[in-house]
A = this chain, B = another copy of it.
Amino acid sequence: MGLKSFIEVDLNSHFPLENLPYGVCKPLHGEGFSPRPCVAIGNHVLDLSVIASSGLFNGPLLSKSSDCFLQTNLNKFVGLGRPAWKEARSTLQKLLSADEPTLRDNASLREKSLLPMDKVEMLLPTAIGDYTDFFSSMHHAKNCGTIFRGSENPIPANWFHLPIAYHGRASSIVISGTDIARPKGQARPVGNSPPYFGPSEKLDFELEMAAVVGPGNDLGKPVDVNEASDHIFGLVLMNDWSATTLSPWIVTLEALEPFVCDAHKQEPHPLPYLAEKTSKNYDISLEVHIKPVGHEQSSIVTRSNFKHLYWTLTQQVAHHTINGCNLRPGDIFGSGTISGPEPESYGCLLELTWNGTKPLSVNNSTRKFLEDGDEVIITGSCKGNNYNVGFGTCTGRIVPSRT
């Protein structure tokens, strides 16, 4: 049985009292509203700036630092660290529970603090200083290697020794729902012909999740792999296509704790700085749907799971900082495309259509890659006993290149 809130939460909701994911919203109606932190509960958001201003964060840590909820992003809160996160969770679970009168019986406070989800605009939850994108799915690495270099040794040897990553661009990270213009650039399709210029012909989605960094580390001071989980606040859904799209709700590691599973076995055994006392992953079901241009309905194109990743979040943190690199609160780590072992669980069209050689049936259409007007919807959730801990959706639509 799930926990009970005085706010009605549908059985299929992604946002019961067990979840309480954090976001940043802006009320759509009324003047002078700035962005403010909130949590999701059922199909409402609870405005944390109102809760903080009312003095209801009264635990030992947050009573002194509840101005973290008077900011326009969550950076200050996520920088406080796990003891403060646990205290906030416990305060909010109590405040929203069915048998707690403080908010339940205060009509004026409810009116001010609880808003229907369709009456707010969701914004990026943190100011992202840096964005690193890993490449942590072995199935994805193997498929890409096979497609581009052939089936002999598709995965380079170093892949098994460290979590490879590249550094992404923070400016072009956008919130779910933002249209994405097809990029233009140079390409060189055949042998020695000169490059041509034009819109991208193979535009893809990439099913990923992103971890949000909590407390950072100083330049030159690596984070120990066994303490690295204290530097991860939570996870969101991510589509890494031309820009990078994030879902608005950060689901905390606390909410994900019931869905911990064993991490992938690693062979060869990693070097000591990557060797964990206990190595864990999370069982999060993921789906991608495409709504082809001109269609009313979307159609599922893949079912994968976060647990398919080979490298863990904590190993990513340890590797990222071992050279002395400093992380800052609100930074994000993309997981890399999350492909499972079966063809039905591949995380991008490159793999699903094998570089366009096996077009995919989507509703009554077929797709090799994305076409202008196509909408991509990622969703993810964990199935508990009579409740879900879900991520909502991460959506976006391709629009033509600007001329």
Question: Which residues of A are in contact with B by a Cβ distance under 8 Å?
Answer: 129-130, 158, 161-162, 166-172, 174, 180-181, 183-186, 188, 194-195, 197, 200, 216, 219-222, 242-243, 268, 271-273, 322-328, 331, 399, 401-402
Contact = CB atoms under 8 A, between A and B. Distances in A.
A130 B324 contact: no
Contact of A325 (B167, B171, B180, B399): B171
A129 B181 contact: no
A325 B402 contact: no
16 contacts: A129-B170, A130-B170, A130-B171, A158-B186, A158-B195, A161-B195, A166-B167, A167-B169, A169-B325, A171-B327, A174-B219, A181-B220, A181-B324, A184-B322, A185-B323, A220-B399
A22 to B, nearest CB: 22
A171 to B, nearest CB: 5
A324 B243 CA distance: 9
B174 A162 contact: no
Contacts of A328: 171
B170 A242 contact: no
Q: Secondary structure of the A side of the interface?
A: loop
Contacts of A184: 222, 322-324
Contacts of A197: 271-273
B183 A161 contact: no
A183 B323 contact: yes
A31 B141 CA distance: 55
B195 A271 contact: yes
Contacts of A271: 186, 195, 197
Which of A183, A271, A324, A331 has the most chain B CB within a 10 Å cutoff?
A: A324
Which residue, A162, A186, A272, has most C-beta atoms of chain B within 10 A?
Answer: A186
A129 B200 CA distance: 26
B181 A162 contact: no
Contacts of A195: 158, 161, 271
A322 B185 contact: yes
Given A169-B167, A171-B331, A195-B271, A188 B158 contact: yes
